[in-house]
Structure 1
Amino acid sequence: MDEERHFSYFRMSAATFDQLLHRLTPQIAHAGSHRAPVCEAERLSLTFRFLAAGISQQALAASYKLGTATVSKIIKEVCQALWVVLQDHVRFPHGEQWEAIRGDFWRLWDYPNCIGALDGKHVRVKAPANSGSSFFNYKGFFSFILMAACDAQYCFTFVDIGAFGKESDAGVFTRTKFGEQLIQGRLPLPPHAPLPGTDVLTPLVFVADEAFPQKINLMRPFPGSQQLSQEENVYNFRHSRARRVIENAFGILAARWRILGRAMECSIETAEDVTKACVALHNFLSKGDQSLPEQHRYIPPGMVDTEGAPGEWRQVIQGDTNLLPTRRITAARATQDGMVVREIFKEYFQTDEGRIDWQDRHVRRGTLLN
């Protein structure tokens, strides 16, 4: 492929590649030895091909006429460097960033006072040496957990990578610093804010699925589908519209970085480095490279779910993804305060200030989003 097509395959322009290479060079440069080292540009290009195409290290080594051990070392070093230089793109929000995220969730997804969508996934790995059953999960394969929250535009704002796969039944969320502080109400979040068009104050909240507990800053849908009232179904529909942002973020991640399409055949440590690099690159490229045509950008039109059609990422992965759902990921119970907050949102969605015109139609048609 020619140079421009080569870089657009990685969803970046040649200028963006050069910018990233400049930032990475101090981290990945190697001094000369008895033979010439692989240059920094080739090391980065090789790693991008591994991440984006999901090609095996053996095939990659043959393509670049390098030893497999050399390729393995390059991938590990470059992935570690990508996390170091791009980690500022995966920072926990603060100050005015919270307000921007809150505004985006209301403007784009019709959920007020929401500051993130939260979920966890298994990342499959080849059976690690001497791991015993630590990484063997309830689905019958080896994995570690990727826990993440994202903003309203599919960028990850928090990630925790590496919990043992067997911990997915309960407890893994509370073992992360983020989860522990959120469950205990100690996460440094902005103060309560009024619901749009009212003087009713609510906490700022994250939305999640039924695997998570109901807490004062963490909303889950009303359980059950057959006995719910119309108002509860409307709440679940509005909740689902906001929560599916994290589903789409994971879907884009898996579609763009096809290394996440199969169990990684490397050490647990390298698999974690690879996952971190994919997350950092996802956020770095999600903002869009304006020099590329729209269809070649990281998130082109039609890539994500809309009310009218599923996102194209679903066609790309077609079930072939290494990011698989967890079960209940915390043993924490719902709190009364959390249920009260959810009731306030439910009632707000029935008011003139909080309702959207087509919510009842979607609920009547049974088109609640998953």
Structure 2
Amino acid sequence: MYWEWIPSCPEEWLCIEKGFARKFPRAIGSIDGKHIVLDCPFNSGSEYYNYKRTYSIVLLALVDSQYNFIFADIGCQGIISDGGVFTNTLLWNKICMNSLNLPPPHPLPGSNIDVPYIFLGDGAFALSEHLMKPYPGQHNIGSEKREFNKRLSSARVVVENTFVPLKVPFFKSVIIIVNNFIIWEVDISKKKFKPDS
């Protein structure tokens, strides 16, 4: 099942980018997965058994710099990595089909090289044209790779902070909707909710 509050035009994406611009220019969202622990489903074998040695489903979320959920997909088996969950979402399909209405690539300040707008992920995700992740491994203090990772992490942490209220034993999908309602104060009936068929 998934929820989406995906911007409908490049101008809306640019409003999101403004929130990230100081920490990581061209970022238009931060993405991560959160394991929701559950009792082992009957006859599921190890499908829901995750690397933390619990049974879970995965909540994959894309959030903006103001802690608003832009996209959330919940229900994938815990054995699947965040990157694997992501590549099986409607969001990934829209990225691949170029149907998100993202702004066209634009040069960074002081450059004339066009740079695409990107989502920020961690090492669990695959690097792609629209998904940036940290350099793997350890890097020397002051090195360009270490500074890059530090900047990416400081902008991406917003998604991890958005998950904090989800640790409270409460119906997770309600928190996602209430979170955006409180922050946006918009008519949520205009947003899209799509249970799996």
Q: How far has the Cα of 1:139 moved from its partner?
A: 2.3
Asked if residue 242 in structure 1 is aligned to residue 155 in structure 2, the reply is: yes
Q: 2:63 matched to which residue of 1?
A: 150
TM-score by length of 2: 0.81
Among candidates 283, 288, 291, match of residue 180 of structure 2: 283
Asked if residue 132 in structure 1 is aligned to residue 29 in structure 2, the reply is: no
Q: Is the 8 A contact 2:60 2:82 kept in 1?
A: no
Q: Which has the higher strand share?
A: 2
Q: What one-letter code is carried by the residue in structure 1 that aligns with 2:16?
A: I
Instruction: Please give the secondary structure, in 2, of the residue aligned with 1:166.
Output: coil
Q: 1:254 matched to which residue of 2?
A: 166
Q: Is the 8 A contact 1:115 1:206 kept in 2?
A: yes
Instruction: Please give the secondary structure, in 1, of the residue aligned with 2:85.
Output: coil
Provide runs of 4+ in structure 1 moved above 4 Å: none
Structural mapping, 1:63-102, within 5 Å: 90-95=4-9, 96-102=11-17
Name the % identity.
38
Q: What one-letter code is carried by the residue in structure 1 that aligns with 2:132?
A: M
Unaligned runs of 5+ in 1: 1-82, 261-273, 289-370
Structural mapping, 1:1-370, within 5 Å: 90-95=4-9, 96-107=11-22, 110-168=23-81, 171-182=84-95, 184=96, 186-188=98-100, 189-226=102-139, 230-251=143-164, 253-254=165-166, 258-259=168-169, 274-287=171-184
Q: How far has the Cα of 1:141 moved from its partner?
A: 1.6
TM-score by length of 1: 0.45
Give the Cα–Cα distance (whole angstroms) in 2 for the partners of residues 205 and 214 of structure 1: 10
Give the Cα–Cα distance (whole angstroms) in 2 for the partners of residues 104 and 145 of structure 1: 27
Change (3 A) 1:117 1:153: same
Q: What one-letter code is carried by the residue in structure 2 that aligns with 1:92?
A: I
Q: Which has the higher helix share?
A: 1
Q: String of CA shifts for 1:179-217, please: whole Å, max 9, x gaps.
A: 3443x4635222112213544320000111111111111
Tell me how many residue pairs correspond in the alignment.
182
Q: Is the 8 A contact 2:30 2:121 kept in 1?
A: yes
Structure having the higher Rg? 1
Give the Cα–Cα distance (whole angstroms) in 1 for the partners of residues 78 and 178 of structure 2: 24
Q: String of CA shifts for 1:313-339, please: whole Å, max 9, x gaps.
A: xxxxxxxxxxxxxxxxxxxxxxxxxxx
Unaligned runs of 5+ in 2: 186-197
